[in-house]
Amino acid sequence: MKAMDEDAVKVLIIDDEEDIREGCRRSLSRGECEVLTAADGAEGLSVLEAESPRVVFLDLKMPGMDGMEVLAMIRETAPACLVIIMTGFATVESAIMAMKNGAYDFIAKPFEPEQIRLVAGRALAHIRVVRRAEELKRERERTLADLGTEQSRVAAILESLPNGVVVTNAFGMVVLMNSVFQRLFAGGVPLTGQDHISRYIDNADFCLWINSISTGVFMTDGKIPSCELQVPGNGFFLARGQHVLSAEGECLGAVVTLTDITDLKTFDQMKSEFVSKVSHELRSPLTAICEQLSMVDEEAGDAMGEENRGMVRRARDKTGALISLIGDLLDLQRIEGGAEFSQPREVEPAGLLSAMVDFLRARAQAQGVSLELALPPESLPILYADPTALESIYGNLITNAIKYTGSGGHVTVTVSVPDAGGLRVAVTDDGFGIEKKHLEKIFDKFYRIKDDKRRFIVGTGLGLSIVRQLVDGLAGAIEVTSQPGVGSTFTVTLPAKNQVAAEDA
């Protein structure tokens, strides 16, 4: 057997499909890679700890520990490791989120051997650049100004990268760029002097971000956020940066890579348009079917027989669930597009909550659940928000509490004023409760807990995701505490009108 090259880069493939793992092994073993494989996230993290691979190809959709959890663990334990997401077109939104959370690149399934070799080649080229940058940092007498004289030595590596690369000094002045950045942002004109980054990318948020990296603002916690920007005429880019440090640990500037994510944005827009069109086309006929089933149940009554009547009611309930799903999808699309709940005004919370509890009490009683509202003796602060947004937040929480509390249970909506001001509303039930392992995921889209108690409860898995996005949009916070078999409490804290005004001032 041929001995493995000492300079070979270790590459780890984490995917639950054996065909993909072996296909990747065959494609990459021909190059300068030593290929390792793992069938799930837990095994992958074990291999990561034992072998310290430099590149990880990671599937997003796996049973057990999913790709996003594995990515977070890799970023925490091996931040220098380059993670490349393997995703289908149906998970494009997750791929974008993964790149914002630190993934280096992505490749769409299904892919050809040449495609994965090309993506791996980009990562290997990036590793060579990083190695060279580390060598430069170890040269104690070097500064970023000297980096200009090194262009002839690193040019070949920089030019092999498919992404734009730019290096700035501590004042945000550009001292080095590759030809991709030059073509996209400098009009093809080579760098002849030191100009501020704003000369090339006239985006205030991006310039502030890159200046913060250049001056070492993020060195305290070591976490540098990514920056997404739209460049007129060029599309959308995801920028990721890193400090350039001297041997003494002084921040000398920043190195930034810009990845074109225009195609990802296009796919995301296509998905949104598809969801909107299909949802609108389905809502009317489904509503008609639901109404007709209700009419059959009411008019035919006992004449149908108990078994047939039960089937009609189940069909009606399932149709109603589909209508609710369509409504939630449309609400979620409008929220993410920034077009929903954008008409804020003064809201008196006691009246709004009293009306909502009165309206939902009939539903609770039909399920054998008591619903109570506990208001404090003192007056409540005025909120400044879109009333529809507040109704959606509190309505989803109260409805969920009723839904997941068995007959004979209790749901209480408790209102209070925190010491720091604002309004706190806690929805407490003594229902099924939630295991700790689910608490961080229940706000994800379409996430539903599946067990014997909940299997027959109709739901979309979108309600809590909508609640969190609306609460975040109102500069509020939501917390959940729960114990299986005891119950749950969802607490929403929102700023009062005077606090919102102070933040905007």
HSE-up of 413 (CA within 13 Å, CB side)? 30
CA distance 101 to 124: 21
Q: Residues of CATH 3.40.50.2300 domain(s) within the chain?
A: 9-126
CA distance 53 to 47: 8
The residue length of the chain stands at: 505
CA distance 370 to 361: 8
Least Cα distance to 164 among 206, 215, 219, 116 occurs for 206
CATH 3.40.1160.10 fits 142-260, yes or no: no
Instruction: Check residue 176 and give its pLDDT.
Output: 82
The first and second tokens of residue 320, run together, are 């109603």
- The DSSP string of 393-446 is HHHHHHHHHHHTS-TT-EEEEEEE--TTSSEEEEEEE-SS---HHHHTTTTSTT
Instruction: Check residue 199 and give its pLDDT.
Output: 85
CA distance 151 to 251: 21
* 64 close to 90: Cβ distance less than 8 angstroms: no
CATH fold for domain 341-505: Heat Shock Protein 90 (3.30.565)
Instruction: Check residue 183 and give its pLDDT.
Output: 84
Q: How much is the pTM? A: 0.46
CA 385 to chain centre: 25
- The DSSP string of 247-299 is TTS-EEEEEEEEEE-HHHHHHHHHHHHHHHHHHHHHHHHHHHHHHHHHHHHHH
Residue 282, judged by CB atoms within 10 A of its CB (0-12, 13-18, 19+), counts as middle
Pairing of strands 410-416, 423-429: antiparallel
Instruction: Check residue 505 and give its pLDDT.
Output: 42
Q: Residues of CATH 3.30.565.10 domain(s) within the chain?
A: 341-505
To 10 degrees, the CA torsion angle through 147, 151, 156, 162?
Answer: 70
What dotted CATH number matches 261-339?
Answer: 1.10.287
What dotted CATH number matches 9-126?
Answer: 3.40.50.2300
Question: In the 8-state DSSP scheme, what is residue 196?
Answer: B
H or E, element range at 169? strand 164-169
Lay out the sheet containing 487-494: strands in order across.
370-374, 410-416, 423-429, 487-494, 477-483
Helix axes 463-473, 387-403, angle to 10 degrees: 150
Q: Residues of CATH 1.10.287 domain(s) within the chain?
A: 261-339
User: How confident is the prediction along the chain (505 residues), in pLDDT tens digits per residue?
Assistant: 344 455 688 999 999 999 999 999 998 887 678 999 999 999 999 999 999 999 999 998 888 888 889 999 999 999 889 999 988 755 667 778 888 888 888 888 888 888 888 999 888 988 888 888 777 776 654 555 555 555 566 667 777 778 888 888 988 898 888 888 888 887 767 776 778 888 888 888 888 998 889 888 888 767 888 888 887 777 889 999 988 888 888 888 999 999 888 888 777 777 666 666 666 666 667 777 777 777 777 777 667 777 777 787 778 777 766 766 666 666 666 666 555 556 788 999 999 999 999 999 988 998 899 999 999 988 899 998 888 889 889 988 998 899 888 889 999 999 999 988 889 999 999 988 888 888 888 888 777 777 666 666 666 677 788 888 888 888 899 999 999 889 999 999 998 875 554 444 4
Pairing of strands 410-416, 370-374: parallel
Q: Percentage helix, strand, coil, to 5, in the chain?
A: 50, 20, 30
CA-to-CA dists, residue 224 to 94, 134, 209, 213, angstroms: 20, 18, 9, 8
Instruction: Check residue 81 and give its pLDDT.
Output: 92
